[in-house]
Structure 1
Amino acid sequence: MSSLFPALTAGPAGRVALSFGDRTLTYGELGAAAGALAARIGGAGRVAVWATPALETAVAVVAALEAGIAAVPLNPKSGEKELGHILSDSAPSLVLAAPGDQLPPPLRELERLDVDVRAVGTQDGAQAVAQVGEDDPALVVYTSGTTGPPKGAVIPRRAVTHTLDALADAWQWTGEDVLVHGLPLFHVHGLVLGILGPLRRGGSVRHLGRFGTEGVARELNEGATMMFGVPTMYHRVAQALPEDPGLAQALGKARLLVSGSAALPVHDHERITAATGQRVVERYGMTETLMNTSVRADGEARAGTVGVPLPGVELRLVEEDGTPITSYDGETVGEIQVRGPNLFTEYLNRPDATAAAFTADGWFRTGDMAVREADGYVRIVGRKATDLIKSGGYKIGAGEIENALLEHPGVREAAVTGEPDPDLGERIVAWIVPSDPQSPPSTEELADHVAARLAPHKRPRRVHHLDELPRNDMGKIMKRALTS
């Protein structure tokens, strides 16, 4: 199998591949550094990567892939218990880290190899790539572990190449594109899409280190063409736009703005479009599947949807009993199931969990609930475990209620859950961060607001006011932490 990154050897050596602040690597320098490291770690089995937002992380992962071995990216914010579990489960032979990085106790028992981004070597280490196949592991990425210890999703090389090439088709992504983002590098969004994606195309990536609207504006003004972010980032952008015409002007220069990892509220879509003339494109994926759908660059950027299935990806909605939903009417809620070359191969050391994740005919159960329009567009309404509310005989997705709440001027942030109700089965509960904490909107006001926009049975029956919503490192709201 050939290299995942043809530009390392066939592209212009002087072209900038990676920028992290004032630190940069050209393709020639990246090829030399990754080649030298690949030669040292070839045959090492799995290797852990201390995934800080730095050049060293990118070089380490590229070197592992060039050497034909699997990389296990580690979240630097993980606690010792979680790190201990991941190391015990994945059993890496060594850990790759930037010189000077202080590693926590669980990692000190592993052999450490510092990554030299200025190393000069040959491409000999990449010869191992010819010995691996498309189904061999590229990455082992650990899930968030909301229902137990994190599980290691084994992502094969074919999933990486398929997803990145399918996105290139959907987004008209080329080597001329320059991507800016500030996402963490232990997750598929920031690492696979945000680092490996530009490198596979032969383009450039500028990582902000830490997300900020000033950095976004600077990079877009200096030639960046694409931005990747999560809804929290775009929400900050939307909030900043009224007072920052320079930011609006910079965003207006972008070829493509992409949001993912969670649904971007329609209200933020509308605010960004009104200020910049740009529409944010949403895509849908997860650790186990990489990317499943996206709004296409040449398609309609329909707010509140995640577009259509990517080339090669099959997607269906099913009822609770597994019966496929055949009528796409934009209203019938079902669980998303997918199959295709973008899927992971297994949960490491968890054959039980792997078997439970797939149907008998090979479809992966995502646990995400959605509706589908007649033209194929998918609109996600939430997670089956936390966002599907069964109230008064209706199946209700929390996402559409959250969007409606965010249209109220007194609501800054919103989350919706369900709780047991003796009459309705479940009642709808809203958790809001009010725009003015001294004068929050009442339950009755918000209930009437939602009922007028959606339907009376979708109105919240209880409202809690919070100073902030609990979120994880990717900005996703942790609904299991919301308890009455």
Structure 2
Amino acid sequence: MLLTSLDPLAVARGDDMPDAVRIGDTTLSRTDILGAAGALAKRIGGARRVAVLATPTPATIIAIVGSLLAGVTVVPVPPDSGPAEREHILSDSGAQAWLGQAPDDTTLPVVPVRVHARDWHTHPEPNPSSIAFVLYTSGTTGAPKGVLLSRRAIAAGVDAMAEAWDWTSKDVLAHGLPLFHVHGLILGVMGALRVGSRLIHTVKPTPKAYADAARAGGTLFFGVPTVWSRIVEDEESARALGTARLLVSGSAALPVPVFERMRELTGLTPIERYGMSETMLTISTRVDGERRPGWVGLPVRGVETRLRDERGGDVPHDGESIGGLQVRGPMLFDGYLNRPDATEEAWTDDGWFKTGDVAAIDEGGFHRIVGRESTDLIKSGGFRIGAGEIETVLLGYPGVKEAAVVGLPDTDLGQRIVAFVVGDGFDEATLIEHVASQLSVHKRPREVRIVESLPRNAMGKVQKKLLAADSTPPAS
């Protein structure tokens, strides 16, 4: 049955699914998950917040579901977080214990997660406004902030995406994304449990693992651009995905050449969507609508968007003019934990969330994300330029595998456009001329640096602040 609450497995006893979740080599039925989660919920009832080291394991699934059944807030912790980041998350969140696996140096109590335990005690449904998760941001502009996501918001977000993608209990969701972000955890685990579809988590998002998941019946695949780029380089694995129904890309812009190659090898046109920890997923191309390379589609059910210029004025919806993207809708977060200043700063006086992203919207309401205001909006020679537009053109040049464009300080221009490019078979002058021939001349890079790789975080996003930090301004 489809669920009307966020109790993720409120399923009739006789309605079991023997392979509800397959994670790595372990398969769990709904009864397995609900029984083990019920046993855990009985032990942690009354707690406020608990930390879960979000490894891709059955114990992580049980820990999260058990916490939700008990009405206890979950704080997912990245498994590869360093001691300083981990200590910040634990102290800031006020987590009272670890559930399951814990770091060796922890001082918090550890509550074991017993995958084979069973308890069928009924737990009352918590208030929909109660906080289900505290997700910590990547911390690119300071210490990570705790994003408060309510049960009501998660339900609204999952249901809106299910409608946009015609996602039903007949689907088999497959992905290998981390379980501490919106994409992999909220949509990729909670979404499957709420919709009632089976879930295959591949542990790692390798081309072979995705191909194996397709052969096992996967119909709906989640990936980030780095994952899809690697898959299209493995033609055999890519073609295996042709039996799927939908291929979804998010967390960063999907390069147009990868989009086209996916369509060529799989026969499927990718779905692109937009969201962030604070908003979950708010914009997406639809299963029954246009899928345009480089564009993320239309607002999902219940969501409104608008663009604002630097003075707070309207930006025309002409597909070219760019502005700060603001959104509102039922799946937005309740604020930043312990940060009333940051929470207030994130919202406009009339109730819109300032995403910090720059976008363009065309006459039909289709959205194109240019990038972050802090790193992707370049002000050069009096022009406002989106880095994403330049990156798309660079990625269309033969031999270019990756590209990141930043604005670096310049005494004459204010900022000069610098492109960091991975690939071979070209030189700096050729790429500069290529961009100038495709876009306005003022959008051409003033400098191209050919590098071996780009710094990325766990979700595959390029960390442009690291590129900028490693660069020094030219001598005046």
Q: Distance in 2 between matches of 1:389 and 1:281?
A: 28
Q: Does structure 1 residue 433 correspond to structure 2 residue 422?
A: yes
Task: Give 1:442 deviation, angstroms.
Answer: 2.1
Find the residue that maps to 1:121 and give its secondary structure: coil
Task: Give 1:6 deviation, angstroms.
Answer: 5.8
Q: 1:38 aligns to what?
A: 41
Q: Distance in 2 between matches of 1:202 and 1:2?
A: 12
| Residues 7 and 201 in structure 1, CA contact (< 8 A), matched pair in contact too | no
Q: 1:167 aligns to what?
A: 161
Q: Distance in 1 between matches of 2:374 and 2:434?
A: 26
Superposed, 1:234-253 pairs within 5 Å as: 234-241=228-235, 244=236, 247-253=237-243
Q: 1:212 aligns to what?
A: 206
The TM-score normalised by the length of structure 1 is: 0.94
Please tell me the residue identity of whatever aligns with 2:454: L
Q: 2:103 aligns to what?
A: 103
Q: Distance in 2 between matches of 1:7 and 1:354?
A: 33
Superposed, 1:65-80 pairs within 5 Å as: 65-80=68-83
Task: Give 1:114 deviation, angstroms.
Answer: 1.3
Task: Give 1:3 deviation, angstroms.
Answer: 4.0
Find the residue that maps to 1:9 and give its secondary structure: coil
The TM-score normalised by the length of structure 2 is: 0.95
Question: Larger deviation: 181-190 or 416-425?
Answer: 416-425
Q: 1:353 aligns with which of 333, 338, 342?
A: 342
**1:250-300 CA distances to partner (integer Å, 9 max, x unpaired)?**
211110000111111111101111222111111100001111101001111
Q: 2:396 aligns to what?
A: 407
Superposed, 1:32-181 pairs within 5 Å as: 32-97=35-100, 101=101, 103-105=103-105, 108-124=106-122, 126-127=123-124, 129=125, 132-181=126-175
Find the residue that maps to 1:338 and give its secondary structure: strand
Please tell me the residue identity of whatever aligns with 2:110: R
Q: 1:417 aligns with which of 399, 402, 406?
A: 406
Find the residue that maps to 2:333 and give its secondary structure: coil
The number of equivalent residue pairs is: 466
Q: Does structure 1 residue 290 correspond to structure 2 residue 271?
A: no
**1:343-378 CA distances to partner (integer Å, 9 max, x unpaired)?**
111111111111111111111110000000111110
Please tell me the residue identity of whatever aligns with 1:159: A
Q: 1:19 aligns with which of 18, 22, 37?
A: 22
Please tell me the residue identity of whatever aligns with 1:271: R
| Residues 401 and 422 in structure 2, CA contact (< 8 A), matched pair in contact too | yes
Q: Does structure 1 residue 451 correspond to structure 2 residue 436?
A: yes
CA RMSD of aligned residues (A): 1.4
| Residues 31 and 123 in structure 1, CA contact (< 8 A), matched pair in contact too | no
Q: Distance in 1 between matches of 2:7 and 2:165?
A: 19
Q: 1:275 aligns to what?
A: 265
Question: Larger deviation: 274-283 or 68-77?
Answer: 274-283
Find the residue that maps to 1:209 and give its secondary structure: coil
Task: Give 1:443 deviation, angstroms.
Answer: 2.1
Q: 2:366 aligns with which of 377, 389, 400?
A: 377
| Residues 134 and 156 in structure 1, CA contact (< 8 A), matched pair in contact too | yes
Find the residue that maps to 1:416 and give its secondary structure: strand
Please tell me the residue identity of whatever aligns with 1:364: F
Q: Distance in 1 between matches of 2:54 and 2:409?
A: 41
Find the residue that maps to 1:311 and give its secondary structure: coil
| Residues 324 and 356 in structure 2, CA contact (< 8 A), matched pair in contact too | yes
Superposed, 1:452-467 pairs within 5 Å as: 452-467=437-452
Q: 1:474 aligns to what?
A: 459
| Residues 38 and 66 in structure 1, CA contact (< 8 A), matched pair in contact too | yes
In the alignment, structure 1 segments of 5+ residues that lack a partner are none
| Residues 378 and 386 in structure 2, CA contact (< 8 A), matched pair in contact too | yes
Please tell me the residue identity of whatever aligns with 2:133: L
Q: Distance in 1 between matches of 2:162 and 2:459?
A: 23
Percent identity between the two aligned chains? 51
**1:361-405 CA distances to partner (integer Å, 9 max, x unpaired)?**
111110000000111110001100000011222211111111110
Q: Does structure 1 residue 312 correspond to structure 2 residue 312?
A: no
